[in-house]
Every structure is written in structure tokens, then in C-alpha cells.
Structure 1
Amino acid sequence: MVKELAIRTCGLTKQFDRHVAVNDVDLEIQAGEVYGLIGPNGAGKTTLMRMLATAEEPTTGEIYINGDRLLRDKTNPTLKRRLGYLPDDYPLYDDLTVWDYLDYFARLYRLREPRRTQRLHEVLELIQLGNKRHSQISTLSRGMKQRLCLARTIIHEPILLLLDEPVSGLDPIARMHFREMIKALQEAGMTILISSHVLSDLAELCTSVGIMELGFLVESASLKQLYQRLSRQQILLSTLGNLEPLLSELKNHCLVEEWEVMLDKQSVRVYFSGNQEDSALFLRSLIEANIPLSEFHCTQEDLETIFLKLGHKQAS
């Protein structure tokens, strides 16, 4: 059974005077996915999100949300009410309390009682700010404010959530809280498109990623496919003895592509072209060669390395 597409764009283009910010983008995101959008500043990520959120009119191209064409005029207001958009310059009203702020947006989305009060309690529990509901927004930390903005974005229970750099400037603990909330929203069935420069967060959260360069969508794939296709296997080796016998074994192994000696002079990072069975045989050969190994750890190149590698490929 083919999953329904939450987002589909056809030839989506946005031009500002002579500058093409988004160039002929065909994007497909399945329902229930967390899709990460990455790329350098100026790549077109924010403009793409603004068009999906109907905050920007496309120059050409079409947008479909859950199969329905998205129009900026008043012909499909119900569909637009099912979108949640958190821009990177989120609006806050410092003189309001947390409760009044959320209540204000709930009323804008025409939530009726008793559902409105019930919904406010639900989102305050999700963002872990129930004990701050009577506090003025001006007294909140940056992480709390960002969680409050997420609550405002989901108060009306959207089917699609668009998050533009939501963890920008947050400390590691605040980022961890935010990741937990995104996972909870995905488990509740929401489709989430999130852009970020913190690629380690995206690697932990996302099911698929898209990479933008100069307005083009140069890559779009599931995270699993991306790793399989573009991530080289790495093996971290440490020895208790002299490095020379280990390096000699590496030179003679047909599946060792290259290696680099680490700063401690006792460890080596090996780029290995074999599979898991080959790795096991490689480990056995080193033991049989009497190499006194203290570490043999298999891993893969991370999302950041893949992104940088793709960027160099585009530039060359």
C-alpha cells in the first residue's frame, strides 16, 4: 500500500527580481514523516517553507497538501487551518501570560469551549510549561519561549507542521526537550518539515532529508537510503603496541581504502569498503597477526560529513 503524500510540489519556483530563490523544486513528503531540510544560508529553505505555509506566493509551480491543491486566495480556508508554521523570527507578546498567549491564538483558530480549555492544558503538558501558565512571557528562558511558540503552532491540531530553524540558539538541554516534543508529535500522526543547521539533531529526528543548494533541491531521500549510498563505513582501531605492525596490515588489506592516524598516535580511523561480515573477518585477521587491539569500533560517516561531501561535489 502506497502512503499518502502530505506534501507534493511540482516545478515550484520563486523569483525576486533577478534572483531565483527556489528553482523548479519537485518535493514529495509522505504522511507521518519527519522530513529534514538542510542547506547553507541562502539555499532557499525559508522561501520554500514560506510558500508551503502560504506566506509567499510562488512565481510558478503548484503545491498539494494531502492531495489538495494549495491556493493563497480564500478558496480552501479549511486546508490552510490545518497547517502549523513556526518561522525563525517567531512573534511573542512579553506582557501576556503563557495561558493568555495560547488562549489568544486558540480563539483566533476559533476553538470553542470546552475544547479550547482542554486543548490549552494538553499543549502545556506537552511543552512542560504547566507550572508557568500564569507567568509573564518576559520572565521565560529562551528555551521556554521556543517551546511556547511550538505550542502556539500546534494549538489548532494541524496535520502538517513547518518548523524553520526551531532550535537556533538553544542550549543542548533545550534542544533535547525540543527533540522529545517533535518525536511525540510524530507519534501522534503529524507530518513535520523541519529545517536546521544542527545536523546531529536532524539525524536523530528525521525519517528523510532534502538538501538544497542555490535554490535547487539537489538531494531528497530517506535517511537510510542516504547513508547506504553516500556514507562510507569507518572503523576506529586502537592498539596497545607500536603502530607500525597495524599500519602494515592495513596496507595489505584489499578492503581498506584509506586511513588516518589520530592525535594520540595509538588510534587509526580506517575507511572500509566491506560489509559487516568483511569487518568481522578483518578483525580476525588483525588478531591472528598478533596486533594487540584495545578498540575495534565500526561506525558510519555522519549526516554532516555527507552534507559537506555533497556540497563539494556540487561546487566542483
Structure 2
Amino acid sequence: MSPMELTPETKAAVVTQGLTKRFDRQGAVTNVDLSIAEGAVYGLMGPNGAGKTTLIRMLATAEEPTKGEIYLFGDRLVAGADNLRIKQYLGYLPDDYPLYEDLNVWDYLDYFARLYHLKNPGRRHRIQEVLELVQLTSKRHSRINSLSRGMKQRLSLARTIIHEPILLLLDEPVSGLDPLARQQFRDIIRVLQAAGMTILISSHVLSDLAELCTAIGVMELGCLVESTTLADLYNRLGQRTISIFLLEGVEQLQDCLKNQPGVEDWQINYDQGDQPNSAPGTHCSVIFSGSPEDSANLLRNLIYAGCRVSQFHCQQEDLESIFLKLGHQQVS
């Protein structure tokens, strides 16, 4: 497939052309053409073994391609070269990066800041800055082995951004974290995006990608089978549903639905008052493809027709369901 198209005013942070990686004649990544716009949060999803980690490792210069080209902010990665200038752009967080458990938090970050040749007083200021960002200032003198899993992951992220990269590559960063830790991590990613950083993040927790990402890539068996904006994916494959709860007016409701633009189908269920989170009376679930204006007009028409509406809300099909649809499309 061709790379996701970028608008003329949008610059590319990442471009790959025919990117391929084989291990002992076994293809891990095959002929991937990828474009990621500057400032995007690009979510990479796919099952285990799909090639996500290998692709990220090639972008991070941790793995050399068998063939193909990689361009980061217009600069080409040269096989066999040190690519030092390009590496300055990068912050890479693998899914299994070890921590030095016997160090305290400050010394750990100071060690990596020195590796990136940060000098005082700027080095000290940068460490304080990233500790504040990842909400670990109070743990600056704590030994790493005393931190929770979520704190350790935030510390790993602090280490990844200590040198102020402009491209962040995160491989399964929320794997194994509890809901609160995942939310804290997502909040940090939003701050980094707001600061202008381009972020590629892979995850099996698809709800996290839906909340964070502006674009999505789907990998299957080493191939990039989908690469598009999240909005386009929802428009093409996502099914929207309107839930309507009535106290009375079922006949008027059905008359309105028959003539309403965007209404594909509907189902009516009675006596829902004993169900959790439901209103008493009648519940109608409407499969809807119309615009937000069509939805507003439907509600207005129901009220004008005399329907006593107690609840009316739209629901977008979740990313996990869309991902399963994509899988079925590839099989068929």
C-alpha cells in the first residue's frame, strides 16, 4: 500500500520506503511504506508477531533493515554509519528496557544526561524538569527498586526524553500497568504532544490508542495493511449508534425514524427500567450514519412529534471492534 498522504503544508517526521527486515530468511517486516506527519501521535497496532517491535527498532537505529529506506525529518538513515545527527532526534523506549535498580532516581537520570553530554547547570535543570513532568520529583532520592511499576515506567520515559528528542518511539509503554498508571502515562504523552513532539506508540491496549492518537497503523504478518488518520478510520469502518430512551411516544418515534436522514436501522426494547444505567420506559437503539446536524434534527423532530425523551446520546464504535473488522477484511 502507499504511505498515508500528507497535506502540502505538512512535513513528514518519518518516511519509509520498501522497508524490509528478514531473520534467517524469515520475513519480520515486509515492504513497509510509512509516513508520519510532524507533531502526530501515531498508534501502531497489531497482534503479537505482526512486526511492530521490529519496525520500531529499525526506526530507532537499533536494527538495520535488510532493504529499504528510512528518512527522519528529511535525513536518510545510512546503513553501517553512526547516524549521530539523526540519533539526536530520537527517544526510544523499548518494552523491556532494564533499570539500574540500585541507583536512586536522580543519579539514574544524571547518568544518562551525562551520556548525552549535557553540562551543568543545564543538566541539573533538565533533570528537575523531566522529574516534574513525570511526577517523580518527590522520589528523586528514592532507590529505583522501591518504586512501583508505574513509577518505573515513568522514570524510563524521563530517561528517554532527557536529551529533548523531537521523535519519541514507544514500544508497548503501558503494558502491564494498572488503570491509574496508564492514565498518568497518557497525561504525560499529551503534554509532550502539546510541546510539538512527534510520537509513535505501539500498544495492545487499543482504548489507549483511541484516546491518544491522531493516526493509526495496522500491521499483519509483517505488512502495514492500514495507515490513516483516526478520524478517517472511524468514518470508513466505525458504526455509530444513537441510544434513545422514551417515557412514551413509541409510534411517533418510529414515524420519525422512517423519514430521518442517516438512520440505517433500529431496534426497540421495552421495560428497560430494571437494567443497570438505563431509564424506565422504552429503549431504542438506532444504527446511524448521519452528520451531527442530522442527529440534532432527529432529537428536535422527536420532541416536536410528542415523544417524551428521557435520554438521547450517540456512541462511536470502539477501536477494538474496528480492529477486528480490519482483521476480517484481510482474511476475506
State the TM-score, normalized to the length of structure 2: 0.87
Task: Give me the whole-angstrom Cα distance separating, in 2, the residues matched to 1:34 and 1:255.
Answer: 31
Matching residue within 275, 281, 284 for 1:268: 284
Q: Does 1:201 align with 2:217?
A: no
Task: Give me the whole-angstrom Cα distance separating, in 1, the residues matched to 2:124 and 2:86.
Answer: 23
Q: Does 1:313 align with 2:320?
A: no
Pairwise mapping of residues 104-183 of structure 1 onto structure 2 (< 5 A)? 104-183=111-190
Paired AA for residue 311 in structure 1? G
Q: Is the 8 A contact 2:252 2:306 kept in 1?
A: no
Q: Does 1:303 align with 2:319?
A: yes
Q: Is the 8 A contact 1:34 1:186 kept in 2?
A: yes
Paired AA for residue 95 in structure 1? D
- Cα deviation for residue 30 of structure 1 reads 1.1
- Cα deviation for residue 147 of structure 1 reads 0.2
Paired AA for residue 200 in structure 2? L
Q: Is the 8 A contact 1:54 1:71 kept in 2?
A: no
Matching residue within 4, 15, 39 for 2:11: 4
Task: Give me the whole-angstrom Cα distance separating, in 1, the residues matched to 2:251 and 2:203.
Answer: 43
Pairwise mapping of residues 1-316 of structure 1 onto structure 2 (< 5 A)? 2-241=9-248, 250=257, 255-260=262-267, 264=275, 266-316=282-332
User: Which stretch has the larger CA shift, 16-25 or 250-259?
Assistant: 250-259
Q: Is the 8 A contact 1:167 1:175 kept in 2?
A: yes
* Pair 261,172 (structure 1): closer, same or farther in 2 beyond 3 Å: farther
3-state DSSP class of the match of 2:81? coil
User: Which stretch has the larger CA shift, 83-92 or 248-257?
Assistant: 248-257
Paired-residue identity, %: 65
* Pair 247,171 (structure 1): closer, same or farther in 2 beyond 3 Å: farther
- Cα deviation for residue 104 of structure 1 reads 1.2
Paired AA for residue 153 in structure 1? T
Task: Give me the whole-angstrom Cα distance separating, in 1, the residues matched to 2:113 and 2:228.
Answer: 36
TM-align CA RMSD: 2.2
- Cα deviation for residue 218 of structure 1 reads 1.3
Paired AA for residue 65 in structure 2? P
Task: Give me the whole-angstrom Cα distance separating, in 2, the residues matched to 1:311 and 1:23.
Answer: 18
Number of residue equivalences: 316
- Cα deviation for residue 127 of structure 1 reads 0.8
Q: Is the 8 A contact 1:22 1:216 kept in 2?
A: yes
- Cα deviation for residue 160 of structure 1 reads 0.9
Task: Give me the whole-angstrom Cα distance separating, in 2, the residues matched to 1:128 and 1:255.
Answer: 46
State the TM-score, normalized to the length of structure 1: 0.91
3-state DSSP class of the match of 2:124? helix
- Cα deviation for residue 52 of structure 1 reads 0.5
User: Which stretch has the larger CA shift, 45-54 or 65-74?
Assistant: 65-74
Task: Give me the whole-angstrom Cα distance separating, in 2, the residues matched to 1:98 and 1:122.
Answer: 13
* Pair 136,260 (structure 1): closer, same or farther in 2 beyond 3 Å: farther
Q: Is the 8 A contact 2:252 2:302 kept in 1?
A: no
- Cα deviation for residue 271 of structure 1 reads 0.8
Residues 100-132 of structure 1: CA deviation (Å, up to 9, x unaligned)? 111111112222222211211111111111111
3-state DSSP class of the match of 1:240? strand
